[in-house]
Amino acid sequence: MPRLVIVDDHAAVRAGVTAILTADSEIEVLGEAATGHDTIEAIQSLKPDVVVLDLQLPDRDGVDICREITATTATRVLILTAYEITDNITAALDAGATGFLAKTAEPQQMIDAVHAVAAGQAYLTPSVTRHVIAQATGKHPPAHRTRAAAPELTDREREVLQLVAEGLTNKQIAQRLVISPATAKTHLARIMQKLGVSTRTQAAMLVRAGNSLDNGV
C-alpha cells in the first residue's frame, strides 16, 4: 500500500489530489504540506513511500527540495505541476524525481502514477517522455545522433538497462544477474554515459520509448 505526503501551496489542490488518490483503497495519505520546510519535516517524521510534490512553493525551489528528498531519504518523488511541459522537467529528473505528471491528468492516471512510482518505476506521460528524449539527445552534436555513430550497448548493459526500466534497484539487479551491487552500479554509469542521460529515470524512459535496446541508442 503506497503511503503518501501531498505537497502544494494551495489547500484546494491538496484536498482535491487527496480525494482522488484516497478513492483507491490501496493508497494512504499520511499528511500534507504547503511549504518546502514543512515538506522536509513531514517526510522525516512520516517516512512516506512517495511524496507528490508541486514545484512551485513559496519558500524554496521545488527542484532543490526534490534533490534533498532523494539524497537523504528513501521516499520517491512524483512531481505534480500545472504545466505538463516545463523547463523544470529535466532539472527535476536530474534531481532524482521518479515521475512527472500534470495537474490536469485524469484521476485514474494520477492513481496509476502513484502505484508506478511507489514500485520504483519511472512514470512520465508520452509528451513528457518525448521532451526528455529530445533533451537527452540534444546534448550531443548531430553527428553523434546517427545510427552509425550511436554508442552500442553490450549484452550485459542491455540486461541491466531493461531491469532499470522495470524499476529494479542496483541491489535487485545485482541479485537477478548474480553480480555485485558495485558492478551493477558501474554498468549503469556506463549506460547513462553512452545514452547521454544523467539519471536512471531518463534511461528507463528511453527504453520505454523504444529508443535503446533494439536500436542501440
Low-confidence ranges of the chain (pLDDT < 50): 139-150, 211-217
- pLDDT value of residue 103: 84
Q: Where are the beta strands (DSSP E) in 21-160?
A: 28-33, 50-53, 76-81, 99-102, 123-124
Instruction: For the chain, state the CA radius of gyration.
Output: 17
CA distances from 132 to 45, 115, 162 (A): 33, 21, 18
Residue 61 DSSP symbol? B
Q: Percentage of residues in the chain with pLDDT exceeding 70?
A: 81
Contact between 84 and 127 (Cβ < 8 Å): yes
CA distances from 91 to 2, 198, 202 (A): 25, 10, 11
- Burial (0-12, 13-18, 19+ Cβ within 10 Å), 151: middle
pLDDT digits (tens, 9 = 90+) for 126-140: 667 666 666 655 544
Q: What are the two backbone dihedrals, phi and then psi, of residue 58, each rounded to the nearest 5 degrees? A: -70, -25
- pLDDT value of residue 169: 84
Q: Kindly list the structural domains of the chain, giving each domain's residue range(s) and its CATH number in brackets, ordered by start.
A: 3-124 (3.40.50.2300), 135-208 (1.10.10.10)
Single pTM value for the model: 0.70
Q: What grid cell was written down for 7?
A: 505537497
